[in-house]
Structure 1
């Protein structure tokens, strides 16, 4: 066979092989793209189900009497963190297998949602192999929310654990996870829709909880109801805290705190204080004129004892020597 014919046949055969390989690659790419699109479509559809029905607890289950560990290695049951009558918790779940940037991103989203849903309604469940890992994680991510270590095997029966990424769910006192969702960086709009859904849920839940609590009556006990600041310098702010305890049988909520004038500024938590728990009303006083002062602070809450009057006294002295 002449050399040039052999050369031509070799080239043709090579081109045929290349063409077949290209066809295989194209088919494979289309298959992967189709699977990816299907996966995204399924997740979008799943979120739509959550948005439309308001429930997704069938996607996840919490075992009965599962235990968690706090920062100092104390063990407690998970259901004890979701107290009856205290409302639902938004749980962010992550493990040491998740990428740090993914965890950090979701903590940033939590910080944006916290003013709406209430920081006290946020709970972090992490899984790290070593007992001393949790304080390090808290410091590394600058976490300000309650953080607990949960054994990795406790939730292994849930398929969402296999995605190896942070995910959310809402946990109520019935211990049935709702609104289970794993954000996807390739579907940011879907994730933002979920965040809006969560905010809406807690806005309604918090309003309903406050209305329910305000109809119930409890008892409040202050450690003290008056402070004498003695001699204080004019225009310098002075702060005191009136610590109280809910000594009743139902949640206590401070409805409002009224002061006599603008020189007295109150600060207090608006979340319910559970039976047996303590909180405080903090008062900052800033005297504008010299002389003796006697200021009343009136605290209104859900009890027949309401209102309670607090008092702050002292003498403002001139700043001049």
Structure 2
């Protein structure tokens, strides 16, 4: 009788050990599922084409957070003072969309190519956007 009780206790301990081991492995697997924001732009280049001098230089880059964590844009800066970006400082939740408005100063004639660097907590880190076009005088 005492031997049966000992075998039963040993079996219970062994079963509990196995269940605990599987639970630990499952928890570790779940921890490996990375929580990260992912920023996906509709387009990383905006081509203004030919634009009249002193005309509206505003354009917009659209993006979506396709990750599983909130996306926070930490800095958006242009390659020169002639391009001014504007963006929301609020987090973009997973599955939601956002935008970065860009205003290019259309006073100076000629072709232009400028970059906008977007820094965020996204998996990609920094993303470089580009605007290009040509400012033409009126005839």
TM-score (structure 1 length as normaliser)? 0.32
RMSD, aligned CA: 1.4
- Give the Cα separation in 2 of the matches to 1:221 and 1:291: 31
The answer to whether structure 1 residue 238 and structure 2 residue 54 are counterparts is no
Matches for 1:166-315 after TM superposition, within 5 Å: 217-315=36-134
Q: Structure 2: any 5+ residue segments left out of the alignment?
A: 1-34
Higher relative contact order (CA 8 A, sep 6+): 2
Residue 20 of structure 2 aligns with which residue? none
- Give the Cα separation in 2 of the matches to 1:236 and 1:267: 19
Q: Which has the higher strand share?
A: 2
Contact map agreement 2:40 2:64 (CA 8 A) in 1: yes
Contact map agreement 2:37 2:69 (CA 8 A) in 1: yes
Q: What is the CA deviation profile of residues 260-310 of structure 1, one whole-angstrom value per residue up to 9, with x for unaligned ones?
A: 112111111100000000011111112232111001011000023121111
Q: Structure 1: any 5+ residue segments left out of the alignment?
A: 1-215
Provide runs of 4+ in structure 1 moved above 4 Å: none
- Give the Cα separation in 2 of the matches to 1:277 and 1:303: 14
Structure number with larger C-alpha Rg: 1
Q: Which has the higher helix share?
A: 1
